[in-house]
Each structure stands twice: as structure tokens, then as C-alpha cells.
């Protein structure tokens, strides 16, 4: 099943568990041991996979610790234990076409991800190579959850009719001429529910990946209200779930937080 169909088929949850493993925060005897990243993430996956609509490993947490091979095995594990649950590789890639071809190959062939996050800053020809992978998703940063997103994303484009803000223009392009094969989605931070509603107006059919509930303080109910229920909504929480406990009960506590977050998003 392709990425968008997988999301559309998920009626029981809007929760995406983010897999951002930091060796210093691993539980018990695993603390500080980058060789245990796979074991830790698999424990979280096994404890939560029936509660989620997606998993989102952030590649930096693996690459920084020379754990890319553990990431490959982790994604294979997710596909095995939760075959209907898509994996969104959070890589935020963005480069010229020839390099983008290699990044796309990395995401979809090496890691076997179902979707990848991209920075659209370099324009459509930096996105297009990912769209050659039939059925795979490409999720573009639109209105990010951090304060610094204001520096670019809230600026108005004087040369475009109506002088939209940059994030608004990107949402329009992604809904229309850029979405050639129906593979695009958008990232909009939970910390900006007003902008989630605006993106939903401009891009009513696109899946939204919404990071920022949990550790960043975004309000789950406000996110659901702003996004509406028509198109897929994938709300990510990473640290609040992963590090609910550093004790022997870490997987059970992660599950409890995931259950509460899923309920808040229903
Ligand atoms: O605008 C964005 C885009 C991506 N992220 C990523 O989501 C998670 C959030 O982690 P929490 O621990 O739940 O805060 C992380 O991987 C970020 O790189 C984002 O936060 N905001």
C-alpha cells in the first residue's frame, strides 16, 4: 500500500511516535551506549505500534552516533511487527537534482522509508527526484514549530499576487502544481495552530505532519480543531514518549504517555 493510502486507512490514531534516540537518555544499563539504540527503539516500537498512525525516526540521532546500520535494522523491524504503519524518515533533505537523487535512494532504497521530510527552499527541481519513487511520500517543511521559522516562513512575497506569506505560497504550490502524483504532504508545527488552519485552507487534501506536542508544548486539542478531520493528520511526539522514564518501566511508561496523547488527539 502506498504512503498516502496507509495514512488514509488509519482511523484509530493521529499519533506519530518520533524515534530520536539519545544515548545519554537511554534507560538503566543502556545509558551512554550508542550500541543499544536499536534495542531501545525496538522496545518503544513494540510497546506502542498498535497506538500509532506512523513512526518518525530522525536521521540525525542515528548518524551522529554512527548508528545508520541500526536505523536500517530498526525500520526493517517496524515493517515486520507493524506492516500497516508507515515510516517517515525525518531527514529534511534539500539539494540540487543530482544530489537529491542520491538522498532519495538513501531514504527509499537503503532505509526502505515510506516517506521523507524535505526542505523546499531550493525549489521544485530539488523535490522532483523523490517523486519518481511511486507510492512514496515527500513531506515539505512549510511552517515549522520553532521560533526561527518566522525569519523566512512569515515573510511576504511581494511579486506573487495577493502577497502571500512564504509558507502560504508553499502550501498553495504543494496542493496544486507541485503535487504531480499525489505524493506530497506538509510539515506545520503544533506550536502554531492558527497557521495549521491557514495551511488547511490552502491545502485541503494534503496530509499534515505536525510536530510540537509533548516536549515543545503544543496543544493537541487545538491542533485537531485547526486541522479538521477531512485529510490525514499525523501529530508527532518524540521526547515526551521516549523518555517518560529512564527506569526498567520505560516501555510501559512510554506506552502510557502514547495512549494519553492519542486520546488527546481523538
Ligand atoms: O518543524 C519541525 C519539524 C520537525 N521537527 C522534528 O520533530 C521532532 C520533535 O521532537 P519532540 O521531542 O517531540 O519535540 C524532532 O525530531 C524534530 O527534529 C520539529 O520539532 N519541528
User: Strand 184-188's sheet: what is its strand order?
Assistant: 54-57, 15-19, 233-237, 208-211, 184-188, 137-143, 115-118, 88-93
The whole-number average pLDDT for the span 19-36 is 98
The upper half-sphere exposure of residue 143, i.e. CA atoms within 13 Å in the direction of its Cβ, equals 26
pLDDT tens, 144-162?
Answer: 999 999 999 999 999 999 9
pLDDT tens, 162-210?
Answer: 999 999 999 999 999 999 999 999 999 999 999 999 999 999 999 999 9
Please give the number of the atom of ligand 1 that sits closest to the Cα of 144. Answer: 1
Q: Is the dihedral of CA 106, 108, 112, 115 positive or negative?
A: positive
Q: Residue 30 has what pLDDT?
A: 98
Q: Which of the following is catalytic: 56, 92, 136, 147?
A: 92
Dihedral Cα 45, 231, 179, 218, nearest 10 deg: -60
Helix, strand, coil percentages in the chain from 3-state DSSP, rounded to 5: 50, 15, 35
Kindly list the protein residues whose Cβ atom lies closer than 6 A to any atom of ligand 1.
18, 20, 58, 90, 144-145, 187, 189, 211-212, 214-216, 236-239
The whole-number average pLDDT for the span 75-86 is 98
- Distance from the alpha carbon of residue 126 to the mean position of ligand 1, in angstroms: 22
- C-alpha span between 29 and 35 (Å, rounded): 12
Q: Which residue has the cell 504543494?
A: 174
Q: Residue 1 has what pLDDT?
A: 81
- Distance from the alpha carbon of residue 210 to the mean position of ligand 1, in angstroms: 9
- ∠ at Cα 117 (116, 123), nearest 5°? 115
Residue 91's φ and ψ, nearest 5 degrees, are: -120, -20
Residue nearest to atom 16 of ligand 1 (CA): 58
Instruction: Answer whether 131's CB lies under 8 Å from 119's CB.
Output: no
Residue nearest to atom 21 of ligand 1 (CA): 145
CATH 3.40.980.10 fits 3-265, yes or no: no
The whole-number average pLDDT for the span 35-42 is 98
- Distance from the alpha carbon of residue 221 to the mean position of ligand 1, in angstroms: 18
Cell of 34: 550508542
pLDDT band at 64 (very low <50, low <70, confident <90, very high): very high
**Is 147 one of the catalytic residues?**
no
**Helix or strand holding residue 141 (H, E):** strand 137-143
- Which mutation among 15, 17, 18, 61 tests ligand 1's pocket best, with the greatest number of atoms within 8 A of CB? 18
Average pLDDT, the chain: 98
- Which mutation among 145, 170, 235 tests ligand 1's pocket best, with the greatest number of atoms within 8 A of CB? 145
Residue 108 has pLDDT above 90, yes or no: yes
- Which mutation among 20, 208, 209 tests ligand 1's pocket best, with the greatest number of atoms within 8 A of CB? 20
Q: How many Cβ atoms are within 10 Å of 247's Cβ, its own excluded?
A: 10
Residue 143 has pLDDT above 90, yes or no: yes
- Distance from the alpha carbon of residue 33 to the mean position of ligand 1, in angstroms: 23
Amino acid at each position: 500500500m502506498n504512503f498516502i493510502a496507509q495514512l488514509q486507512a488509519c482511523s484509530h490514531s493521529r499519533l506519530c511516535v518520533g524515534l530520536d534516540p539519545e544515548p545519554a537518555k537511554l534507560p538503566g544499563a543502556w545509558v551512554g551506549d550508542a550500541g543499544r539504540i536499536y534495542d531501545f527503539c525496538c522496545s518503544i516500537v513494540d510497546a506502542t505500534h498498535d497506538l500509532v498512525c506512523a513512526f518518525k525516526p530522525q536521521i540525525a540521532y542515528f548518524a551522529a552516533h554512527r548508528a545508520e546500520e541500526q536505523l536500517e535494522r530498526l525500520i526493517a523491524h517496524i515493517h515486520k511487527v507493524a506492516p500497516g504503519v508507515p515510516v517517515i524518515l525525518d531527514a529534511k533533505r534539500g539539494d540540487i537534482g543530482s544530489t537529491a537523487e542520491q538522498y532519495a535512494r538513501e531514504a527509499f532504497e537503503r532505509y526502505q522509508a515510506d516517506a521523507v521530510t524535505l526542505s523546499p527552499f531550493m525549489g521544485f527541481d530539488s523535490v522532483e527526484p523523490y517523486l519518481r519513487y511511486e507510492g512514496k511520500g515527500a513531506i515539505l517543511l512549510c511552517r515549522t514549530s520553532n521560533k526561527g521559522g518566522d525569519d523566512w516562513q512569515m515573510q511576504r512575497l511581494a511579486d506573487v499576487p495577493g502577497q502571500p506569506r512564504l509558507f502560504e505560497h508553499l502550501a498553495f504550490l504543494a496542493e496544486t502544481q507541485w503535487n504531480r502524483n499525489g505524493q506530497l504532504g506538509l510539515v506545520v508545527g503544533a506550536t502554531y495552530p492558527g497557521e495549521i488552519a491557514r495551511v488547511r485552507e490552502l491545502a485541503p487534501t494534503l496530509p499534515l505532519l505536525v510536530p510540537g506536542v509533548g516536549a515543545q508544548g503544543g496543544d493537541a486539542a487545538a491542533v485537531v480543531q485547526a486541522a479538521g478531520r477531512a485529510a490525514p493528520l499525523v501529530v508527532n511526539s518524540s521526547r515526551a514518549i521516549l523518555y517518560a522514564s529512564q527506569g526498567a518501566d520505560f516501555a510501559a511508561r512510554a506506552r502510557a504517555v502514547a495512549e494519553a496523547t492519542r486520546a488527546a488527539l481523538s
